[in-house]
Amino acid sequence: MKTVAVIVQDGFAPFEFGVACEAFGLDRSDDGIPNFDFKVVTPTPGVVTSKLGFSLNVDDDLSFAYTADLVVVSPTPREWWDNTDPRVLDVVRDAAARGAWLLSVCSGSFILAQSGVLDGRKATTHWMYADTMARMYPAIEVDPDVLYVQDGRIITSAGTAAGLDACLHLLRQELGAEMTNTIARRMVVPPQRDGGQAQYIQRPLPEVSSLSLAPVTDWMLENLRADLTVDQLAAKAHMSARTFARRFKADYGTTPASWLGRQRIIHAQRLLEQTDYGLDRIAEECGFGSASVLRQNFTRVLGTTPTAYRNTFCCEIGTGGSALERRAEELAGSAA
């Protein structure tokens, strides 16, 4: 992925538009991250008004989007959800037909839905609008409870910050775990929230700071190799197993087992990129126990095998320079 087009129309949502700019439009070459050829496009170039009253002056029409490797769709006002500019719908259909990435943030998924590219697929949107989407587009399997959904090369995300999670999810597939973690650190956001995590967290911050589960999750990350059980974790938190499981789901939007499994996959990605460890050792380091269990979980979550992932993202050990620098050189060379 080297070219990115973000489509804006009158009434666009500034934050969701900014998410795409932050993820794909910034120059991070000083951190060893390759730049994308990034453009903001619109059906009719000129002044494009936001939903908050200020405007952008957009110079590019939709031509660039017809060749972009990724087309991002920003949300539009509700009254346009079934009346999108036909020129935008044509771009979306073209991107899907030629196998480009498509990504919508929040209610931008309604544009994808109207184009027909989501028919027969799973998708999500902001939980407030999920029932509306399901009624308007019964051919789509709408999941109202998750942060984002990837179906093939189409990614739909929930509201606001979930768009960042979806963008990082895509970047992880294109750039690998280490570069994506670097981008996330620059954004000052968690490097990976699993797409299946709940949109609506019952209690975003613990009511009493002394009851925070952060010390427990930190300990889990330091002990990924161990066979961790809910009973062990509950004892660490000085809670009953039932209370701990309920509290963890309320604070993190997922179960302890799911959260732990995702962290193990992320650690496996890092080891595949940065070391020459064999799969048995990586499985042991990450707490999977055996290479076969590692392969099964890795393939289920990421849709590729550990070996294929290493072949794509691994940097040779001992060749000099940082892993980021070597990976950036590889991507720059392929672009040339």
- Taking residues 214-219, what's their average pLDDT? 90
Of all residues in the chain, the percent with pLDDT exceeding 90 is: 64
Mean of pLDDT values over 273-295: 94
Joined tokens for residue 10: 């009158």
| Average confidence score pLDDT of the chain | 86
Distance between CA atoms of residues 247 and 215, nearest Å:
14
Residues 92-143 have pLDDT tens digits of 999 999 999 999 999 999 999 999 999 999 999 998 999 999 999 999 999 9
| DSSP-based three-state secondary structure for 18 | helix
Instruction: Fill in the DSSP letter of residue 102.
Output: E
Whether the model clears a pTM of 0.75, i.e. scores above it, the answer is no
Contact between residue 26 and residue 14 where contact means Cβ atoms under 8 Å apart: no
Q: Do domains 209-252 and 258-335 have the same CATH topology?
A: yes
Q: For 63-103, what is each residue's pLDDT tens digit?
A: 999 999 999 999 988 888 888 999 999 999 999 999 999 99
Task: Indicate if the pLDDT at residue 36 is higher than 60.
Answer: yes
**Looking at residue 290, what is its pLDDT?**
94
Class level of CATH domain 3-187: alpha beta
Q: What is the mean pLDDT of residues 35-60?
A: 96
Report the range of poorest mean pLDDT among 208-217, 301-310, 314-323. Answer: 314-323
Residue 144 has a pLDDT of 87
Inform me whether the pLDDT recorded for 60 exceeds 90. Answer: yes
Domain ranges of the chain: 3-187, 209-252, 258-335
CATH superfamily of 258-335: Homeodomain-like (1.10.10.60)
Spacing of C-alpha 298 from chain mean position: 17
* pLDDT (tens digit per residue) in 161-182: 889 989 999 998 899 888 888 8
Residue 325 pLDDT class (50, 70, 90 cuts): very low
Count the helices and strands in the chain (H runs, E runs): 14, 10
Structural contact between residues 73 and 89, judged by C-beta atoms closer than 8 angstroms: no
Class (C level, CATH) for 209-252: mainly alpha
39-53, 140-154, 189-203, 272-286: which has the minimum mean pLDDT? 189-203
Residues composing the chain: 336
CA dist., res. 175 & res. 315, Å (int)? 12
pLDDT value at residue 291: 95
